[in-house]
Structure 1
Amino acid sequence: MSVEVTAVWQKIQGMANEFMVLLPNLVLALIVFAIFFFIARTLKRTVKKMTRSHRQARNLGLVLGRLAQGTTILAGLFIALSIVIPSIKAADLVQLLGISGVAIGFAFRDILQNFLAGILILLTEPFQIDDQIVFKDFEGTVEQIQTRATMIRTYDGRRIVIPNSELFTNSVTVNTAFNNRRLEHDIGIGYGDDIDTARELILEAMNETDGVLKNPASDAIVVELAGSTVNIRARWWVQPPRRADILDLQDRVLTNIKNKLIANGIDLPFPTQQILFHDQTEATDGDRTRQREGWSAGKGEVPKSHSISSAIRQLAESQSQRNGAKEGNRSSANHNPAQNDR
């Protein structure tokens, strides 16, 4: 029993002696690491201060500050380890870091992809904070651009988190990229209305609306001869192109256009349809090879055109004639009894 206690005590003494030998290096390593940690925090604060005055660079400064802090702390950790364990070479640490980096890269491929995409978005700035963007089925205002994802607030008060790799590799529409934006709306007038008059009225209505820019000028162009309307496209420019302002201005422009056209006798027709019977034709066509209602070319009399009212009238007349004929037959049979006896 005493032998075992002696062995344990000797091991403890050996560990204590090794610790005392290692203590100076350990203290020095802690001091070095603390210095690097302090430098890292100072770098982070300095980068944030440099970019604080620019709103669009706010997130970029935060990311660069974190990168600088992490890199500095990692370098301090390597130096501290080399002080505590002199047998560890800097090349060994770099090699270990490279192998670990490859393993981490495979394990967290999606995270690293989003991180790199976020850095590129912050550097290239295809859009900025407070911009209004459209991405696939989502539309809203950019709230934050983080290293992993971008957050947008939709117009109905919801938050959408979009991975940065998706934003970087797909098309994004930035509605607020420029100061001016053109809006348009199609207006249908009747075929009997004068197009030039309607165009002038539409231009007057747009120019009289507060908020519509004079330069670039508004315009109205004919874009389609539809089934029941002549469609004129009204186009006007607004500033600034925020969603709420656009909806408010569009409401006032379309209201003014409708009131102006109605007040000047311009028709705004509803969609209409024409129903043709299978035997309906035009008496003036004459040429049966050019009939449009389905009658094949051939000899014989060209059938007259029919309508629902004429068809009902003919049906009533024929029914009346049949009823009259039946009544006549009955009366003749009653007034000739001898014929009934035969």
Structure 2
Amino acid sequence: MAANVNVALERVQSIGRDVVAALPNVLIALAVLLVFWGLARGARNLIQRVWGSREGNLGRLFGRLASGSILLLGVLVGVTIIFPSVTPASLFSLLGVGGVAIGFAFRDILQNLLAGILILITRPFRIGDQIVTGDSEGTVEDIQIRATILRTYDNLQVVIPNTQLFTGKVTVKTAYEVRRLQYDVGIGYGDDIGTAKQVIHGTLAGLKQIRQDPAPEVLVVDLAESSVNLRVRWWIDPPRRKDALDSQDEVLQRVKEALLAHGIDLPYPTRQILWHDQTEEADGDRVRQREGWPAGKGEAPPSRWQVVREREQEPS
């Protein structure tokens, strides 16, 4: 028992002597690490200052990458100072094997990192743009290394992986200075199309929230079941969602009031229903059934089946 205690004490004393002997190296390593920390901070500030005028978020990204690389190098130098037996070659070989393992383990993170860098370099959209991707729409608040932060119009935060944005479809609604809006307005079949167009053009000409260059347009786009549909198209500036909603609100209100004031109908959808007497003897017989012609309302027209049979019986 006493022998085991003596062995343990000797080991503790040996460790203590090693620590005391390595203490100068530890202090030197800390000093070196402090120097590298200062270099990392200076490099980050310098990169952010250089890139700040072009794209602040891109500068922050490269600044963080440069700062992290310099700090990692400082840690490696400090390890070689504290443990002289550790050579740079062994450290780099260890980093190579570890890098492969980390690459497999964090593949998705690395993909998002690369996609984030490419997004910041190619800049398909910027911070402040309003975009649509998948079922999400809103304003880009931040482009980070792993994901992009989107703020919806309902004040919700959506975190979208950069890979999804870089490889998927993204609609940038504020990419250009102007934007065109459109809405279909239905008028009655008895109304004059030229008069309706003239009324709509005159109404749009007096609105300040829409652009007059390019000029608004009114086009006939459909002869629908209950109405003749006119497509009203106009341009707005700037092209943000709030401006689009305010513009549409004013255009629809003024156009409706102007058309009604000039006696132009805005018809409701209508349906014509023919009730068939279900007590007739021919009900269910597709050859004799009168296809909805009301009983007692005059002579029923021939059914299409009767017409076909009569044509077949005609001599060739």
TM-score interval, normalised by the smaller of the two chains: 0.7 to 0.9
Structure 2 distance, partners of 1:3, 1:256, is 102
Secondary structure in structure 1 of the residue aligned to 2:269: coil
Query: 1:280 aligns to what?
Result: 293
Query: 1:333 aligns to what?
Result: none
Q: Contact 1:279–1:295 (CA<8 Å) still a contact in 2?
A: no
Task: Decide which of 70, 80, 95 is 2:78's aligned counterpart.
Answer: 80
**For structure 1, which segment, 181-190 or 201-210, has the greater mean C-alpha deviation from structure 2 after superposition?**
201-210
Q: Contact 1:135–1:172 (CA<8 Å) still a contact in 2?
A: yes
| Residue 90 of structure 1: how far off its partner (Å) | 1.8
Query: 1:324 aligns to what?
Result: none
| Residue 253 of structure 1: how far off its partner (Å) | 0.7
Query: 2:48 aligns to what?
Result: 48
Deviations 1:151-207 (A, max 9, x none): 211112211111222111211111111110000001111122222221222222122
Deviations 1:249-302 (A, max 9, x none): 111111111112112222211111223452539xxxxxx8xx6x6462267xxx
| Residue 102 of structure 1: how far off its partner (Å) | 1.5
Structure 1 distance, partners of 2:105, 2:123, is 29
Q: Contact 1:180–1:237 (CA<8 Å) still a contact in 2?
A: yes
Q: Contact 1:118–1:165 (CA<8 Å) still a contact in 2?
A: yes
Query: 1:62 aligns to what?
Result: 60
AA at the equivalent of 1:24: P
AA at the equivalent of 1:190: G
Structure 1 distance, partners of 2:104, 2:17, is 43
Deviations 1:21-62 (A, max 9, x none): 4333333222222111111111122223334455xx222222
CA gap of 1:5–1:204, structure 2 versus 1, over 3 A, is same
Secondary structure in structure 1 of the residue aligned to 2:306: coil
AA at the equivalent of 2:25: N
Query: 1:119 aligns to what?
Result: 117
Query: 2:149 aligns to what?
Result: 151
Query: 2:137 aligns to what?
Result: 139
Structure 2 distance, partners of 1:279, 1:81, is 94
Query: 1:317 aligns to what?
Result: none
The aligned length equals: 289
Deviations 1:283-336 (A, max 9, x none): xxxxx8xx6x6462267xxxxxxxxxxxxxxxxxxxxxxxxxxxxxxxxxxxxx
Structure 2 distance, partners of 1:14, 1:74, is 31
Instruction: Tell me the TM-score normalized by structure 1.
Output: 0.77
Query: 2:230 aligns to what?
Result: 232
Query: 1:29 aligns to what?
Result: 29
| Residue 96 of structure 1: how far off its partner (Å) | 1.0
Secondary structure in structure 2 of the residue aligned to 1:296: helix
| Residue 89 of structure 1: how far off its partner (Å) | 2.3
Structure 1 distance, partners of 2:137, 2:12, is 68
AA at the equivalent of 1:47: I
Look at both structures and tell me which one has the larger radius of gyration over its CA atoms. 1
Unaligned runs of 5+ in 1: 282-287, 300-342
Query: 2:159 aligns to what?
Result: 161
Deviations 1:73-92 (A, max 9, x none): 01111122222223322222
1:296 aligns to 2:315 (yes or no): no
Structure 2 distance, partners of 1:110, 1:226, is 51
Deviations 1:188-240 (A, max 9, x none): 11122222221222222122111211111111111111111111111000000
Match runs of 1:1-342 below 5 Å = 7=7, 10-53=10-53, 57-276=55-274, 278=291, 280=293, 294=304, 296-297=306-307
CA gap of 1:241–1:279, structure 2 versus 1, over 3 A, is closer
Structure 2 distance, partners of 1:71, 1:253, is 57
Structure 2 distance, partners of 1:168, 1:128, is 13
Unaligned runs of 5+ in 2: 277-290, 295-300, 311-316
Percent pairwise identity: 49
AA at the equivalent of 2:260: I
CA gap of 1:257–1:2, structure 2 versus 1, over 3 A, is closer
Structure 1 distance, partners of 2:9, 2:243, is 83
Secondary structure in structure 2 of the residue aligned to 1:270: coil
Structure 2 distance, partners of 1:7, 1:40, is 46
Instruction: Tell me the TM-score normalized by structure 2.
Output: 0.83
Query: 2:279 aligns to what?
Result: none
| Residue 10 of structure 1: how far off its partner (Å) | 4.7
AA at the equivalent of 1:229: S
Q: Contact 1:180–1:241 (CA<8 Å) still a contact in 2?
A: yes
Q: Contact 1:279–1:294 (CA<8 Å) still a contact in 2?
A: no
Structure 1 distance, partners of 2:151, 2:9, is 67
| Residue 17 of structure 1: how far off its partner (Å) | 4.2
Structure 2 distance, partners of 1:7, 1:26, is 27
Q: Contact 1:44–1:68 (CA<8 Å) still a contact in 2?
A: yes
**For structure 1, which segment, 22-31 or 173-182, has the greater mean C-alpha deviation from structure 2 after superposition?**
22-31
Structure 1 distance, partners of 2:124, 2:231, is 31
